[in-house]
Amino acid sequence: MIALLLKLFWCFFVIGLFNFGGGGAMISLIQNQIVEVHGWLTEAAFTDIVAISQTTPGPIGINCATYVGYQVMHDAGFSNLVAVVGSASATFAVVLPSFIIFWVLMRAFNRFHDDPRFVTVMSALKPAVAGLIFAAAVILCLHVTMDGLTPQISVIAENFPDWTSWALFAGAFIATYFFKANPIYVILAGGILGLIIY
């Protein structure tokens, strides 16, 4: 139990340490560690956790860490109480680096905020954040493997099991992108339609 808790803590500490751009950018890092590296969850289970994290209040990255911590300990056969400890461990681990980095950056900002080199570094992080958020979207939709130098791309069937899922996805995209619909209403409509259809 202690070994798994420590591994969970270290995993999310590293994720928090290398996260730039908020929870959306963190999803691809969490997916890589939880699904690909450690094999604690399947692609489908991770996608479900991301969906739950987006529909509950709070930052998605922290919510995701909370749910993953609980699920990993629960799936390992531990009691609900131990699973809650795993949840708390993952949540604390993912936010701890942010507190440390924020404290260091505030001291650096107060000292170097007019330095052109500091401004350049901060500007360079913007496209990196956009790339991480795009990568998170791709990871949830597509499974990419390399055959030598040729990428093999396939849709993750568990996340889009039928044409109805694709229709809901397209409808949500059109509503938010073209009609600027309030995301809260889109989430509520998706939830209601999901309950009715599935």
Q: Which residues of 53-82 are buried (b: 16+ CB within 10 A; e: fewer)?
A: beeeeeebbbbbbbbbbbbbbbeeebeeeb
Model confidence at 178, pLDDT cuts 50, 70, 90, reads very high
Tokens coding 31: 């997916």
Distance from C-alpha of 78 to C-alpha of 76, rounded to nearest angstrom: 6
pLDDT of 29 > 90? The answer is no
Structure confidence by residue, pLDDT tens digits, 115-125: 888 788 878 88
Question: pTM of the predicted model, to two decimals?
Answer: 0.60
pLDDT of 137 > 80? The answer is no
